[in-house]
């Protein structure tokens, strides 16, 4: 094999990763998997896909070296191959919004639909300090299975669908901070609106669980 052939072969392998990232639905699946391991059925439901279509996209991600699998009984569960994949996903988003005017506009439109009453945003390090001092109540409004896979220390699992019921049981003077999956997850935006409609105030964590984890901040997991 010549030097040129060897170099071409090398870059073909690099391109396999790019091919895996070249579908919007596969990127959405990576976003979901950044929250923890999931079954094909769970991923399909969350991403608005049929099971067969989700399986095809997941197989493409596996062939690209981005996800791995394990079998539990008759169920195949998918996970990111490593934290470097999560970091690559975040970098891809950042490059897109920094260099594509269309991506920036799409972000403004999507988040702008939810950003009418979002209130104050709390920095990650500030929240961690407040948690350790016992000064704040932190609510994780993601689905419970994502909470179990990893959450901010001391956070309570209150999925968005259960938030109104939870609010009816709490003291009105609590300092509340809510968070969800990441910078492009709107569950926390919607949670702040629920508090606002009840005449209460809640703040939103900067970004979300993905960025918290990639920043190297402590994560608790439900070992059960």
Is the dihedral angle over the CA atoms 210, 212, 215, 218 positive or is it negative?
negative
Which pairs with CB-CB distance under 8 Å and at least 24 residues apart come from 24-27? 25/49, 25/53, 25/57, 26/57, 26/60, 26/61, 27/89, 27/92
| SS3 (DSSP) at 147 | helix
Distance from C-alpha of 90 to C-alpha of 130, rounded to nearest angstrom: 26
Q: Would you say 211 and 197 are in contact if contact means Cβ atoms under 8 Å apart?
A: no
Asked about 180 being catalytic, the answer comes back as yes
Kind and range of the H or E run holding 10 = helix 3-20
Active-site residue among 180, 187, 192, 205? 180
Side-by-side strand order, sheet with 137-140 = 121-122, 203-205, 176-179, 137-140, 156-157
**Where in the sequence numbering do the catalytic residues fall?**
180
């Amino acid at each position: 094999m010549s030097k040129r052939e060897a170099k071409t072969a090398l870059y073909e392998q690099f391109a396999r990763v790019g091919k895996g990232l070249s579908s919007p639905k596969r990127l959405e699946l990576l976003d979901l998997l950044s929250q923890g391991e999931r079954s094909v059925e769970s991923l399909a439901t969350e991403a608005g896909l049929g099971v067969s279509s989700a399986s095809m996209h997941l197989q493409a991600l596996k062939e690209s070296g981005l996800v791995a699998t394990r079998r539990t009984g008759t169920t195949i569960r998918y996970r990111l191959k490593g934290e470097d994949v999560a970091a690559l996903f975040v970098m891809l988003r950042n490059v897109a919004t920094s260099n594509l005017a269309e991506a920036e506009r799409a972000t403004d439109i999507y988040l702008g639909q939810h950003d009418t009453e979002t209130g104050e945003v709390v920095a990650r390090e500030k929240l961690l300090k407040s948690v350790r001092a016992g000064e704040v109540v932190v609510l994780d409004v993601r689905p419970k299975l994502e909470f179990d896979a990893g959450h901010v220390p001391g956070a309570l699992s209150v999925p968005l669908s259960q938030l109104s019921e939870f609010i009816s049981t709490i003291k009105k003077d609590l300092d509340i901070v809510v968070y969800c999956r990441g910078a492009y997850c709107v569950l926390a935006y919607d949670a702040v609106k629920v508090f606002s409609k009840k005449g209460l105030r809640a703040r939103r964590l900067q970004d979300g669980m993905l960025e918290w984890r990639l920043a190297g901040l402590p994560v608790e997991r439900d070992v059960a």
